[in-house]
Structure 1
């Protein structure tokens, strides 16, 4: 159920902005991966292309979920939350690997966007209350 009579709350607007920003960032990573796939000498091109395809699919999914949430499609919230929670183990392993400067912000981003997506104003805008 969607409710379009009220303006989009700031919590949902910021969640959409952050999802779209993540999509752009992951898209840039995918472009870099594609460039690396085409220019690097590799022993396993198939695996390299699959990782690149995964990054492209992730960017497309984040962008699409942001658009669906902007249109107040309540079914987009759960997949968006799952993608945000996936940032927690990614950030944890980055911290373990010595990239805490990147891992901690990723974990904070995932928790922050999840918080925006489950906040009461977002719930009302998506028809959950």
Structure 2
């Protein structure tokens, strides 16, 4: 029996799974924002649309980076890490604002996915070694 040496490592598969999960979560938030944009009685329309567009863009970026990493595109790792590290200040400010139940998991998620992306098996699979 031959062993497939080209198999995607579990660390990379988990990173892709978590990135796509984040994309779905942000996509659901974006959908809620679209509904809120259309149903709000008073709003700063330009600001509301900018926040909605940012959420849609973030969801698309997370999904695209996950897909690129699954195809072992080494150039997708750095932007994915940047997006994960952006969760750290977001989580910190949530903790400061009394939402520790949400901030702590966001920080853990950001650090966890970053670790998965820089782990030795992922690094080898993306051709950095």
TM-score by length of 1: 0.95
- 1:125 maps to 125
- 2:58 maps to 58
Query: What is the aligned length?
Result: 126
TM-score by length of 2: 0.95
CA RMSD of aligned residues (A): 1.1
Matched residue SS, 2:88: helix
Query: Equivalents in 1 of 2:49, 2:66: separation in Å?
Result: 26
Query: Equivalents in 2 of 1:53, 1:59: separation in Å?
Result: 10
Runs of at least 4 residues off by over 2 Å:
none
Structure 2, unaligned stretches of length 5 or more?
A: none
Tell me which of the two structures has the higher relative contact order, counting C-alpha pairs closer than 8 angstroms and 6 or more residues apart. Answer: 1
Query: Equivalents in 1 of 2:46, 2:29: separation in Å?
Result: 18
- 1:8 maps to 8
How far residue 41 of structure 1 moved from its aligned partner, in angstroms, is 1.5
Matched residue SS, 2:72: coil
In the TM superposition, 1:20-99 aligns within 5 A as 20-99=20-99
How far residue 5 of structure 1 moved from its aligned partner, in angstroms, is 5.4
